Amino acid sequence: MKAVKEELAEKLEEILEVEVKEKDIEIPGGEYGDFAYPAMKAASQKEENPRKLAEEASEKLEALDIAEQVEVAGPGYLNFHLDREKYAKIIENRLESENMGVEQREGSILVEFSSPNIAKPMNVGHLRNNALGDSLRRILSFVGYDVTAENYIGDLGTQFGKVIYGHKNIESEKDFEEEPIEYMLDIYVKFHDLAEENTEIEDQSQKWAKKIEKKDDEAIKLWKKFRSATLEYHRDEYKRLGIKFDRTTGESTVYEDARELVKQWVEEGKLERDEDGSVFYEFEEDELPGAVLLKADGSTLYITRDLYNLKKRNEEGFDYNLYVVASEQELHFKQLFQIAEDAGIKTEGSEHISYGMLNLTEGSMSTRKGIIIEQSEIFDRAIEIAEEKAEEEINRSLENAEAIGIGAVKYSNLSVSRKKDMEFNWDTALSFQGDSGPYLQYSNTRAKSILGKAEKEAELSGALTREEYRIVKKLGEFPKKVGEAAENREPAKIANYLSNLCEEFNSFYHSSQVIGEDEKTEKRRLKIVKLFSDVTDQGMQLLGIEPLEQM
């Protein structure tokens, strides 16, 4: 189903005989109409007077069924005033069609996100990654892509050597069977305290890390024990947050193949070993610093494993390969994609979905020093504050504090453009008024409450008032905003749209009585409320925020 802007662009192109794109059509607002097109560019191409060209075009455009009036203003602006009732019906039909009028795409996409390290709890640094990755998974699926969500965990490396050494040599007040994550974190922190006084234990931990790669029986047994306990812990947290993955992989599943890939490149003469046996990649362009692909002892690095993974995903046939990783890793991905290109590994369709830092005033997040703010702590605190705010701002106790607290944290992370750093503010995030997750949920449940009291069938017919028309037009923007969010990999497009839509709805709610009006008006307003409820239901789901029946 075509959008009105698309139809106008096609009609203008036909009449003016020049290329007209959808983006050329503006939304002026106020007395200037629903849409506007500056004919000056077309006039310049045709070497004609813009005002005269606009006047000639306006006569033909008024013949459009949906046009109520087409005015010419200024040096050559075409201002379109649409038939409100007909335009509202078009919007209603789009929103009630399959996929709510959202243009469907084709192709397969792998979205890699979350990727926590084993033997540690997820910390506040994972908040934005989890929210962004899960929302992208939902949005891209909704617009038609075949999406595979992958959790590529950090289950290899030096931290395991440290945890195994600590397990065998350091006492802990924590009990592994009772509190596995707390136990592993405790011995990890104590290991670093001891290492500051005795550097030899670093060497001992390195030996344990190498034993894992060499498949030493004792090392592998402990590695599996710690890995399994961490995965179970994380699984419970993902379930709480409504996050789902299609597959969970890890560095341990690719490191051997990654090593063999680099060895193959050495044998083929594409790379050379240094005197110590390591393999170093030197870029032809000086802009990028070189990268170690294999250590002297044959151990792989992040970039080695990512190179093999990229090759493997190409072989699996994914059209797009998205890495949701903080902007701090920008250099890593530039190196990765350049090495891959030089080696003949396809990088087209691979994207680093970077995001800025989440700043909290609660202090450092250093796992080594033990000053860590766990992700779960943020959600627990948000739930407590949500209950307090509800009493203060809307004068009621909450039945769904868990969903509201979690939704508030997710929204605050998603409403800021992903490329920007953000400051997490408890008062703003948990407020039931203004730009927040609770505000979306509250507005949505308000609409459902109205619908629950209605005794008449909803029907969008008759002349719309100015307030009704404003919110219907805003509802009509939903398919476009979802498309923009998918195209730009930017959930903030949807979050900001929903916030503005809720403002429009609450303005409508306070100015326009719904139940108790004459029959035709009540039916029309009920339909507007129903469309708002449907759009906010779907929009919140795309952000990973749970729509509620009541607060």
pLDDT at 363: 47
Contact 435, 465 (CB under 8 A): no
pLDDT above 60 for 286: yes
Among 82, 116, 135, the domain-final residue is: 82
Would 307 be classed as within a structural domain? no
Would 118 be classed as within a structural domain? no
Please list, residue by residue across 136-158, b when 16 or more beta carbons sit within 10 angstroms of its beta carbon and e when fewer do.
bbbbbbbbebebbbbbbbbbbbe
Order of strands, sheet of 77-82, starting from the edge strand that comes earlier in the sequence = 35-38, 77-82, 67-73
Measured distance CA(486)–CA(358) in Å, rounded = 22
pLDDT above 70 for 369: no
Look up the CATH number of the domain holding residue 73: 3.30.1360.70
Would 36 be classed as within a structural domain? yes
Task: Please give the average per-residue pLDDT across 53-81, as a whole number.
Answer: 92
Token couple for 420: 């920007």
> Above pLDDT 70, what percent of the chain?
98
Would 467 be classed as within a structural domain? yes
Contact 153, 249 (CB under 8 A): yes
Token couple for 270: 């594409």
Query: Phi, psi (5° rounding) for residue 232?
Result: -65, -40
Residues whose CB falls within 8 Å of the CB of residue 335, separated by 6 or more in sequence, listed in order? 281, 283, 288, 289, 291, 303
E strand or H helix at 359? strand 358-359
Long-range pairs of 433-436 with CB within 8 A, sequence gap ≥ 24 = 433/393, 434/499, 435/499, 436/408, 436/411, 436/412
pLDDT above 90 for 368: no
List the single range of 61-65, 86-90, 502-506 with lowest mean pLDDT. 61-65
Q: For the segment 455-467, what is each residue's pLDDT rounded down to a tens digit?
A: 888 999 899 999 9
Would 295 be classed as within a structural domain? no
Q: For the segment 411-420, what is each residue's pLDDT rounded down to a tens digit?
A: 999 999 999 9
E strand or H helix at 248? strand 247-250
pLDDT at 371: 60
Q: Which of 50, 45, 87 is nearest to 69 (CA)?
A: 87
**Average pLDDT over the chain, rounded to an integer:** 93
pLDDT above 80 for 276: yes
Among 49, 82, 115, the domain-final residue is: 82
- State the total domains in the chain: 2
Instruction: For residue 511, give its domain range.
Output: 381-543
Measured distance CA(44)–CA(363) in Å, rounded = 59
List the single range of 24-38, 168-182, 530-544 with lowest mean pLDDT. 24-38
Q: Which of 325, 332, 267, 327 is nearest to 301 (CA)?
A: 332
Measured distance CA(158)–CA(313) in Å, rounded = 26
Measured distance CA(488)–CA(36) in Å, rounded = 25
Among 24, 56, 82, the domain-final residue is: 82
Residues whose CB falls within 8 Å of the CB of residue 435, separated by 6 or more in sequence, listed in order? 415, 428, 499
Token couple for 365: 């997040």
Alpha-carbon distance values, 103 to 55, 267, 516 (Å): 33, 49, 38
Alpha-carbon distance values, 516 to 169, 445, 512, 520, 542 (Å): 75, 20, 11, 11, 34
E strand or H helix at 321? strand 320-324
Q: Which pLDDT band holds residue 365 (cuts at 50, 70, 90)?
A: very low
Q: Which pLDDT band holds residue 7 (cuts at 50, 70, 90)?
A: confident
Q: Which of 445, 464, 467, 469 is nearest to 537 (CA)?
A: 445
Q: For the segment 383-393, what is each residue's pLDDT rounded down to a tens digit?
A: 999 988 888 88
Would 27 be classed as within a structural domain? yes
Would 420 be classed as within a structural domain? yes
230 or 457, which is more confident: 230
Would 159 be classed as within a structural domain? no
- Tell me how far the alpha carbon of residue 203 is from its chain's centroid: 41
pLDDT at 396: 75
pLDDT above 80 for 305: yes
Contact 514, 525 (CB under 8 A): yes
